């Protein structure tokens, strides 16, 4: 029964980011089916999943074609040793496909088990590259406050969300440096957008100069910050930061775990949305639409030329048992085929502006400070006072209160402290968008009633 399942789950499954007090009281909602943009709990109740799982179910759930491709690959070859003297067909084909889709000379792929391990792999690659060039001192990383890059020791240290750096954990602090999050809504007062952009660019340049360009290896950035609250930087930010990185020989790592594979209407947002060609792109999530765990660190031929120089005889000592897992790669190939065949990038380009525009209508509610986003990524920032942008006390858990009301009305939205974020499947329809907006409005109104009744 559902009650038995909930109890077993509470006893044995330690979920990501568990707040134990709440978990012991409420348990987790057992989800047993998924179909398109909907999920169903074990009592048979359906929910419109506006979060797309966790920014990942891009083609929607329940695709027989995906199940068949995965089953077929399991039957044919469920595993092959990925070390260099063996390979497997889906991994080879997927690496070639990613090289074709990725911008510029990003022609080489390290496969991992997810986004965090792809971020870790990118830094191993960078260290190896700097050593091969005779620049081992070039090992410092610059990233942004409020960014999210994963949950391993390294990727969490690169991330800059204050709540992800609680005192009980250790983090790498001596070589990782966090600069401002490019959030104009919370910019220092009195700066117009152009001045704010200049402030951000100056800060990056000064940080590189303070540390010493011969010490700084890489700049890590999400094109649009996801878990930090869907923050779209001021226009010109990426091109500006990229130019500074180039000037000081700093590699640009674009973490596209959320933004790639159609979420912003392109395969990769770096080049096709923001107009720059990073040295490394990190992908995961939409790569398989969540049907299999898989991540990819896609890197440039310029880096490859250096690490693979003939005759130096060294080994890039890095990799996993499941690097290039044939079943995960087969799922990714089928997923990409579906995105292509159903023209889902074009669909996002058409429906994304409608989603943003409809969501914006929520700004008339008294606690909605800002609705922001791009294409099929959106965030509602809830505030106590719209004029001063003052936040609610954290203990009030305003985002979760809204998400709980939404869930009871049949809609899943993700709470992040005072925010609610959404990233529905790319197959979402206009009427489902209307449902999301109407239901979320109701959930926010119910929350306002609770707070002020």
Stretch that binds ligand PLP, among 114-122, 172-180, 329-337, 342-350 (CB under 6 A): 114-122
Work out whether 114 is an interface residue with ligand PLP (CB under 6 A).
yes
CB 222 within 8 A of CB 148: yes
Query: Residue 377: which residues within 8 A CB-CB, separation 6 or more?
Result: 55, 224, 226, 230, 258, 259, 263, 264, 421, 422, 423
User: Which residue in the shown chain puts its C-beta closest to ligand PLP?
Assistant: 115
Q: Which residues have C-beta within 8 Å of that of residue 286, sequence separation ≥ 6?
A: 55, 56, 58, 258, 260, 261, 262, 263, 335
Distance in angstroms (rounded) separating the CA atoms of residues 453 and 446: 10
Which of 59, 204, 227, 339 forms a contact with ligand PLP (CB under 6 A)? 227
Which of positions 149-178 make contact with ligand PLP (CB under 6 A)? 149-150
When binding is defined by CB under 6 A, the residue of 60, 115, 233, 278 that contacts ligand PLP is 115
Contact window for ligand PLP (CB under 6 A) among 134-142, 143-151, 212-220, 405-413:
143-151
Show Cβ contacts of residue 337 under 8 Å, excluding neighbours closer than 6 positions: none
CA–CA gap between residue 223 and residue 264 (Å, rounded): 10
Binding range to ligand PLP, per CB under 6 A, among 146-154, 300-308, 385-393, 398-406? 146-154
**Binding span for ligand PLP by CB under 6 A among 87-95, 142-150, 363-371, 417-425:** 142-150
Among 120, 222, 279, 435, binds ligand PLP (CB under 6 A): 222
To ligand PLP, the closest distance from the beta carbon of 355 in angstroms equals: 19
H and E: helices and strands count for the chain: 15, 15
Nearer to ligand PLP, 293 or 443 (CB): 293
Site for ligand PLP in 307-346 (CB under 6 A): none
Contacts of 182 (CB under 8 A, 6+ apart): 144, 200, 225, 231, 233, 234, 237
Q: Is 261 in the site for ligand PLP (CB under 6 A)?
A: no
Q: Closest by alpha carbon to 329, among 120, 70, 122, 134?
A: 70
Smallest gap from Cβ 381 to ligand PLP, in A, equals: 18
N-to-C CA span, the chain: 37
Out of 38, 47, 123, 148, name the contact with ligand PLP by CB under 6 A: 148
Structural contact between residues 379 and 230, judged by C-beta atoms closer than 8 angstroms: yes
> Binder to ligand PLP among 226, 233, 326, 415 (CB under 6 A)?
226
Note whether 277 and 249 are within 8 A (CB): no
Stretch that binds ligand PLP, among 29-37, 110-118, 204-212, 430-438 (CB under 6 A): 110-118
State the minimum distance, in angstroms, from the CB of residue 387 to ligand PLP.
Answer: 32
By beta-carbon proximity to ligand PLP, the closer residue of 54 and 101 is 54
Is 255 a binding residue for ligand PLP by CB under 6 A? The answer is: yes
- Residue written as tokens 């949950």? 151
Q: Which stretch binds ligand PLP (CB under 6 A): 88-96, 255-263, 319-327, 333-341?
A: 255-263
Least distance to ligand PLP, CB of residue 47, Å: 21
C-beta separation of 279 from 302 below 8 A: yes
DSSP state for residue 314 in the 8-state scheme? -
Q: How far is the CB of 148 from ligand PLP (least distance, A)?
A: 5
Query: For ligand PLP, what does the binding mask look like between residues 192 and 221, x meaning CB under 6 A?
Result: ------------------------------
Among residues 116, 356, 382, 447, which is the contact residue for ligand PLP, using CB under 6 A?
Answer: 116
Q: Which residue has the tokens 């800059």?
A: 160
CA distances (Å), 144 to each of 34, 130, 183, 265, 287, in order?
35, 22, 11, 24, 24
Cβ-based nearer residue to ligand PLP, 109 or 258: 258
Q: For 86, which DSSP code?
A: -
Residues interacting with ligand PLP, by CB under 6 A?
114-116, 119, 148-150, 222, 226-227, 255, 257-258, 284
């Amino acid at each position: 029964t559902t009650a038995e399942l909930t109890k077993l789950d509470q006893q044995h499954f330690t979920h990501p980011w568990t707040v134990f007090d709440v978990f012991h009281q409420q348990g987790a909602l057992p989800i047993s089916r998924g179909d398109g943009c909907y999920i169903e709990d074990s009592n048979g109740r359906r929910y419109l999943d506006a979060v797309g799982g966790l920014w990942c179910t891009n083609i929607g759930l329940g695709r027989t074609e995906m199940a068949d491709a995965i089953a077929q690959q399991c039957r044919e070859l469920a595993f092959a040793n990925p070390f260099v003297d063996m390979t497997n067909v889906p991994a080879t084909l997927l690496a070639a496909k990613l090289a074709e889709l990725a911008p510029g000379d990003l022609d080489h792929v390290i496969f991992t088990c997810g986004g965090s391990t792809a971020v870790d792999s990118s830094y191993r690659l960078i260290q190896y590259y700097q050593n091969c060039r005779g620049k081992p001192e070039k090992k410092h990383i610059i990233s942004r406050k409020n960014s999210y890059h994963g949950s391993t020791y390294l990727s969490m240290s690169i991330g800059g969300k204050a709540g992800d750096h609680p005192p009980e954990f250790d983090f790498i602090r001596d070589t990782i440096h966090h600069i401002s999050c490019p959030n104009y809504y919370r910019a220092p007062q009195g700066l117009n957008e152009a001045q704010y952009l200049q402030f951000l660019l100056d800060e990056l340049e000064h940080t590189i100069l303070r540390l010493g360009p011969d010490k700084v290896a890489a700049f890590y950035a999400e094109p649009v910050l996801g878990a930090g609250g869907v923050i779209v930087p001021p226009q010109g930010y990426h091109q500006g930061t990229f130019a500074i990185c180039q000037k000081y020989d700093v590699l640009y790592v674009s973490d596209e775990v959320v933004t790639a594979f159609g979420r912003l209407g392109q395969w990769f947002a770096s080049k096709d949305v923001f107009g720059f060609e990073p040295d490394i792109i990190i992908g995961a999530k939409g790569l398989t639409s969540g049907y299999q765990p898989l991540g990819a660190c896609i890197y440039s031929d310029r880096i490859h030329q250096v690490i693979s120089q003939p005759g130096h005889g060294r080994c890039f000592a890095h990799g996993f048992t499941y690097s290039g897992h044939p079943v995960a790669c087969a799922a990714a190939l089928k997923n990409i085929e579906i995105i292509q065949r159903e023209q889902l990038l074009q669909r996002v380009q058409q429906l994304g502006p409608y989603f943003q525009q409809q969501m914006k209508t929520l700004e008339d509610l008294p606690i909605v400070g800002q609705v922001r986003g791009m294409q099929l990524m959106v965030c509602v920032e809830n505030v106590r006072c719209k004029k001063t942008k003052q936040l609610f006390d954290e203990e009030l858990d305003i985002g979760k209160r809204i998400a709980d009301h939404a869930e009871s009305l049949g809609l899943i939205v993700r709470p992040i402290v005072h925010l609610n974020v959404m990233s529905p499947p790319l197959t979402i329809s206009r009427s489902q968008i209307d449902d999301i907006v109407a239901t979320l409005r109701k959930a926010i109104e119910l929350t306002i009633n609770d707070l002020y009744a």
